[in-house]
Amino acid sequence: DAGVTQSPTHLIKTRGQQVTLRCSPISGHKSVSWYQQVLGQGPQFIFQYYEKEERGRGNFPDRFSARQFPNYSSELNVNALLLGDSALYLCASSGSGFGDTAEYFGEGSWLTVV
């Protein structure tokens, strides 16, 4: 079975541009979460979606938005990119989306903002 897949794997953007990152969860998983990881720190929670509804949002500015599609895949959008948005963006899926179930992570999308 395919794991969580993310695209693109690497991308370079210029300050002020917009970026869209994509995630396909494990088949049958209805919850998708997004995390940002900068070097030297643990991943930081950005969004969780379950059954196409936003279930939670982390402490990120409104430049960050996401959505989940009927097939449970998800997109993360970041507008007006800043240098500080350079990071690894991880997507994770789980069946129930509750805290007592493990998250399954993709390999991430590396975003560099120049």
Phi, psi of 89, deg, nearest 5: -105, 120
Work out which of 20, 22, 44, 86 binds another protein, going by CB under 8 A.
44
100: tokens are: 């007592």
Phi, psi of 45, deg, nearest 5: -70, 135
Q: Which stretch binds another protein (CB under 8 A): 17-25, 39-47, 64-72, 77-85?
A: 39-47
CA torsion sign, 32 to 36 to 42 to 44?
negative
For residue 82, give the 3-state DSSP assignment. Answer: coil
Q: Which stretch binds another protein (CB under 8 A): 19-27, 61-69, 72-80, 105-113?
A: 105-113
CA torsion sign, 65 to 34 to 67 to 100?
negative
Work out which of 23, 66, 85, 108 binds another protein, going by CB under 8 A.
108
How far apart CA 60 and CA 45 sit, in angstroms, is 9
Closer CB to another protein, 43 or 68, in the complex: 43
68 part of the interface to another protein, by CB under 8 A? no
Work out which of 45, 60, 64, 79 binds another protein, going by CB under 8 A.
45
Question: What is the binding site for another protein (CB under 8 A)?
Answer: 3-4, 31, 33, 35, 40-45, 48, 50, 55-56, 58, 90, 94, 96-108
